[in-house]
C-alpha cells in the first residue's frame, strides 16, 4: 500500500489556510474592517458545503477524512458560524478590536481543530493542537486595548499551554521508545499483542495531562478563570465551546484507534481527576461575582461531566461524551451571545449583583437566559438534562454506580450558581438605566441556540442517534478493514 | 560512542533542569528559557531513539519540535514585551490582577 496524495481530501483545510493568510496580507490596505467578517462567514458556509461533499480518504498516513471527523467538523463549523456572528456584534461596539486579524486567527484556530479531528498519527495531532491553541493566545491578549490585565490571562494560558505541549511530547517520547512509531493503528497493533501495556499506559497518561490542560480538568485548571475573564467575550465562548469540543473528540479518537485495549485502565485513571474537577468547578463557581468567571468554573465542571463518559470505557459512553459536548457547545454559545448583548450596552452588567431587576428592562432576553441557565444546571425540559442523563446512564451501565452517585451529588451543588443568577435577575430590585436595541447578529445565534436546546431536550433521539450511528459506522469501518 | 542509555540520561537531566527553572524562577523570560530547555531535552531524546533504532520518524519530529519551539518563543517574547510595556514588570509574582 503506497502513500496517497489526494489533494481533494484536504481541500477544506487548504481553502481555510489560504483565506486566513489572505486576510492577514490585505488587512492593512482596507479601511472598513467589516470585510473580514463577510469573508469569514462565506468561508465557513463554504466549509459546510465542502465537508459534506469532499471525498473520504487518506492523505499520507497522517490525515484521514472519514465519517467521524467529517460529522464532528460539521458541528464545529456550525458553532463557528454562530461565534463569528456574535463576534461581529461584539466588535461593532468594541471598535479597537475590529481588525481583520481577529477573524484570521479565528480561522487558523478552526483549521487546527479540523486537522486535529482527522489526524491519524500523534505527531499530526500534536502539531494541530498547537496550531489550534497559538492563535487563541493572541486573541486573548488582543483584549488589552480595553482591559489591561487581560495580558496576564493570556500569559497564564500561554505558559500552562506550553507546559502541556511539553508533557504531550514526553508521552510521545515514551510511546516512540516502546513501539517505534507514531501512527495510531501501529500502536494499537503493538497493544493487541499485549506488549508493553504498563509502559504505554504511562505514555498515554502524559498525553492525557497535556489534553487535560486544554480541557482545564482539575489539577491543571488554574489558568481557566483568568484566561476566560480576560478574553473578549466571543473568544471565551470559542475557548469553552469549540476548543474543548475538538480536544475531547480527539481524545476519544486516540483512545478508540490507538489505545483501544487500554480503555478500561484509562477510565480508572480518570476517575479521581473527573470527580475532583466536577466538585471543585461547582464549589468555586458559587462564590464568583463576575458571571464570566462563574461560567469559567462551570466549564471546568462541564468538562468533568463529559469525562464521565470516558470513565465508562464503553462505545455508547463515548458517543454520549460527544453528545454532551455538543449540547454544551450550543448552550455556551447561547449564553455568551446574551453576555455579549449585555456587555455591549452596559459593561457593569457582567457583575452578577448589578444584574438585579434586569427582567423589567428586557423580559425577552431574560427568558432566554432562564432557559440557557436551566440547561447548564440540568433541569428537565432542556437539553442539559438529557445530556447529563445519558452520561450518568452509561456510567451506571458499566457498573460505576458510586461514581455516578457522587457526580449527581456534585451536580446538585452545581445548580446553585446558575439559579443564583436567575434569582438576582428576577427577584432582586434596583433602579438603573439600560438602553439597548436588538441586532440581527444577536438575535439569530441566541434564537437558534435556545430553539435547539429546547428541541434536543424534548426530543433527543435523532441527535443521539446521529452521534451513536457515527461512532458505530466508524468503529465497524475501523475494525473490518484490517 | 555513547550508548542510548547515556543519551536518555542526558535528556532527563536537561528536562529536569528546565522543569526546576520553570517551577522556581519568577522572571518571565527565564521561564520561557526553561521551557526551551525542556524542549531541547526532548529533542535529544527523540534524536537518540531515532539514531539507535534506525527509524526516520524521530528525526522528523525533531524538526517539528524546533519549529514549534521557535513559534512558542515568538509568542512568549511578544507577550512579555507587551506586558513590560503595559504593566511595567517582568516578574510573575508582581502580576496579580486576578484573584480567586
DSSP string for residues in A223-281? HHHHHHHHS-HHHHHIIIIIIHHHHHHHHHHHHHHTSGGGHHHHHHHHHHHHHHHHHHH
Residue A480: predicted pLDDT: 65
Spatial contact of A63 and A119, defined as CB atoms under 8 Å apart: yes
A119: how many CB neighbours lie within 10 A of its CB?
23
Q: Is the pLDDT of residue B20 over 60?
A: yes
**Calpha distance A363→A361 (Å, rounded):** 6
- pLDDT > 70: percent of chain B: 99
Please choose, from the candidates A320, A466, A331, the residue with its C-alpha nearest in 3D space to the C-alpha of residue A388.
Answer: A320
Among B78, B92, B95, B100, the residue to mutate for chain A (most A Cβ within 10 A): B100
Low-confidence spans in chain A with pLDDT less than 70: 1, 480-482
**Contacts of residue A188, Cβ cutoff 8 Å, sequence gap at least 6:** A257, A258, A259, A260, A261
DSSP state of B91: B
**What is the torsional sign of CA A195, A198, A204, A210?**
negative
Among B75, B78, B87, the residue to mutate for chain A (most A Cβ within 10 A): B75
**Calpha distance A228→A315 (Å, rounded):** 32
Instruction: Tell if the CB–CB gap between B98 and A152 is shorter than 8 Å.
Output: yes
Residue A359: predicted pLDDT: 86
Residue A38: predicted pLDDT: 92
Residue A158 Cα, gap to closest chain B Cα (Å): 7
Within 8 A of A165 by CB-CB distance, chain B residues are 68, 72
DSSP state of A312: T
- pLDDT > 90: percent of chain B: 68
Residue A125: predicted pLDDT: 93
Residues 5-34 of B with CB under 8 A from A: 15, 22, 28, 31
Residue B100: predicted pLDDT: 61
Residue B19: predicted pLDDT: 93
Residue B68 Cα, gap to closest chain A Cα (Å): 8
Domains of chain B (ranges plus CATH)? Answer: 26-90 (1.10.287.3510)
DSSP state of A142: G
Spatial contact of A100 and A236, defined as CB atoms under 8 Å apart: no
Residue A1: predicted pLDDT: 58
Residue A2: predicted pLDDT: 72
Residue A298: predicted pLDDT: 92
Residue B37: predicted pLDDT: 93
Structure confidence by residue, pLDDT tens digits, A400-444: 999 999 999 999 998 999 999 999 999 888 888 888 888 888 899
Instruction: Tell if the CB–CB gap between A172 and B61 is shorter than 8 Å.
Output: yes
Residue B76: predicted pLDDT: 92
- The ipTM is 0.95
Query: Which chain A residue is nearest to residue B19, measuring alpha carbons?
Result: A163
**Calpha distance A26→A357 (Å, rounded):** 46
Among B7, B17, B79, the residue to mutate for chain A (most A Cβ within 10 A): B79
What residues form DSSP beta bridges with A64? A58
Structure confidence by residue, pLDDT tens digits, B56-84: 888 999 999 999 999 999 999 999 999 99
Spatial contact of A89 and A442, defined as CB atoms under 8 Å apart: yes
* Buried residues in B23-52 as b, exposed as e (16+ CB within 10 A): eeeeebeebbbbbbbbbbbbbbbbbbbbee
Residue A252 Cα, gap to closest chain B Cα (Å): 23
Please choose, from the candidates A192, A245, A193, A186, the residue with its C-alpha nearest in 3D space to the C-alpha of residue A215.
Answer: A245
Confidence of residue B48 (pLDDT cuts 50, 70, 90): very high
> Phi, psi at residue A224, to the nearest 5°?
-60, -55
Within 8 A of A287 by CB-CB distance, chain B residues are 100
Residue A322 Cα, gap to closest chain B Cα (Å): 29
Structure confidence by residue, pLDDT tens digits, A55-104: 888 888 888 888 888 889 999 999 999 999 999 999 998 888 888 889 99
Domain chopping of chain A, boundaries? 11-479
**Contacts of residue A295, Cβ cutoff 8 Å, sequence gap at least 6:** A228, A236, A240, A332, A335, A336
Within 8 A of B76 by CB-CB distance, chain A residues are 158-159, 162
What cell numbers appear for A257 in the block? Answer: 484507534
Amino acid at each position: 500500500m503506497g502513500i496517497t496524495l489526494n489533494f481533494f481530501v484536504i481541500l477544506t483545510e487548504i481553502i481555510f489556510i489560504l483565506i486566513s493568510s489572505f486576510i492577514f496580507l490585505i488587512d492593512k490596505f482596507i479601511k472598513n474592517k467589516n470585510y473580514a467578517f463577510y469573508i469569514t462567514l462565506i468561508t465557513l458556509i463554504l466549509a459546510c458545503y465542502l465537508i459534506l461533499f469532499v471525498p473520504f480518504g487518506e492523505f499520507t498516513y497522517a490525515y484521514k477524512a472519514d465519517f467521524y471527523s467529517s460529522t464532528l467538523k460539521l458541528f464545529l463549523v456550525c458553532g463557528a458560524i454562530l461565534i463569528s456572528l456574535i463576534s461581529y456584534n461584539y466588535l461593532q461596539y468594541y471598535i479597537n478590536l475590529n481588525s481583520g486579524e481577529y477573524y484570521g486567527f479565528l480561522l487558523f484556530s478552526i483549521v487546527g481543530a479540523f486537522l486535529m479531528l482527522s489526524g491519524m498519527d500523534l505527531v499530526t495531532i500534536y502539531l494541530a493542537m498547537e496550531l489550534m491553541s497559538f492563535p487563541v493566545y493572541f486573541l486573548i491578549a488582543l483584549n488589552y486595548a480595553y482591559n489591561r490585565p487581560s495580558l496576564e490571562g493570556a500569559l497564564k494560558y500561554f505558559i500552562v499551554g506550553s507546559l502541556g505541549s511539553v508533557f504531550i511530547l514526553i508521552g510521545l517520547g515514551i510511546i516512540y521508545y516502546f513501539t517505534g512509531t507514531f501512527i495510531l493503528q501501529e500502536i494499537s497493533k503493538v497493544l493487541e499483542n499485549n506488549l508493553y501495556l504498563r509502559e504505554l499506559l504511562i505514555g498515554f497518561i502524559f498525553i492525557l495531562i497535556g489534553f487535560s490542560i486544554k480541557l482545564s480538568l482539575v489539577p491543571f485548571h488554574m489558568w481557566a478563570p483568568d484566561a476566560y475573564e480576560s478574553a473578549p467575550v466571543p473568544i471565551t465562548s470559542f475557548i469553552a465551546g469549540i476548543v474543548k469540543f475538538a480536544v475531547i473528540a480527539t481524545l476519544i479518537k486516540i483512545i478508540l484507534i490507538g489505545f483501544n485495549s487500554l480503555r478500561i485502565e484509562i477510565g480508572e485513571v480518570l476517575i479521581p481527576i473527573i470527580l475532583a474537577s466536577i466538585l471543585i468547578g461547582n464549589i468555586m463557581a458559587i462564590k464568583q461575582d463576575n458571571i464570566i468567571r462563574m461560567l469559567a468554573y462551570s466549564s471546568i465542571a462541564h468538562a468533568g461531566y463529559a469525562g464521565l463518559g470516558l470513565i465508562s470505557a464503553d462505545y455508547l459512553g463515548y458517543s454520549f461524551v460527544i453528545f454532551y459536548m455538543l449540547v454544551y457547545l450550543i448552550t455556551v454559545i447561547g449564553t455568551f451571545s446574551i453576555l455579549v448583548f449585555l456587555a455591549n450596552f452596559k459593561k457593569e452588567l457582567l457583575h452578577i449583583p448589578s444584574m438585579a431587576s434586569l427582567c423589567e428592562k428586557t423580559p425577552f432576553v431574560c427568558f432566554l437566559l432562564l432557559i440557557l441557565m436551566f440547561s447548564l444546571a440540568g433541569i428537565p425540559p432542556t437539553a442539559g438534562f438529557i445530556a447529563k442523563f445519558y452520561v450518568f446512564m452509561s456510567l451506571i451501565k458499566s457498573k460505576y454506580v458510586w461514581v455516578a452517585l457522587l457526580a449527581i451529588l456534585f451536580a446538585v451543588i452545581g445548580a446553585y450558581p446558575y439559579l443564583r443568577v436567575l434569582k438576582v435577575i428576577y427577584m432582586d430590585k434596583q433602579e438603573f438605566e439600560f438602553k439597548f436595541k436588538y441586532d440581527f447578529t444577536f438575535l439569530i445565534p441566541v434564537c437558534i441556540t435556545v430553539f435547539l436546546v429546547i428541541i434536543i431536550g424534548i426530543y433527543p433521539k435523532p441527535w443521539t442517534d446521529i452521534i451513536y450511528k457515527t461512532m458505530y459506522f466508524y468503529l465497524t469501518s475501523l475494525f473490518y478493514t484490517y | 560512542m555513547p550508548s542510548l542509555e547515556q543519551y536518555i540520561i542526558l535528556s532527563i537531566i536537561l528536562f529536569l533542569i528546565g522543569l526546576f527553572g520553570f517551577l522556581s524562577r519568577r522572571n518571565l523570560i527565564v521561564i520561557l528559557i526553561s521551557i526551551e530547555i525542556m524542549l531541547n531535552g526532548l529533542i535529544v531524546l527523540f534524536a537518540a531513539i531515532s539514531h539507535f533504532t534506525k527509524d526516520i520518524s524521530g528525526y522528523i519530529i525533531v524538526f517539528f519540535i524546533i519549529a514549534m519551539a521557535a513559534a512558542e518563543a515568538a509568542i512568549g517574547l511578544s507577550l512579555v514585551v507587551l506586558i513590560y510595556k503595559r504593566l511595567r514588570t517582568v516578574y510573575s509574582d508582581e502580576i496579580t490582577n486576578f484573584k480567586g
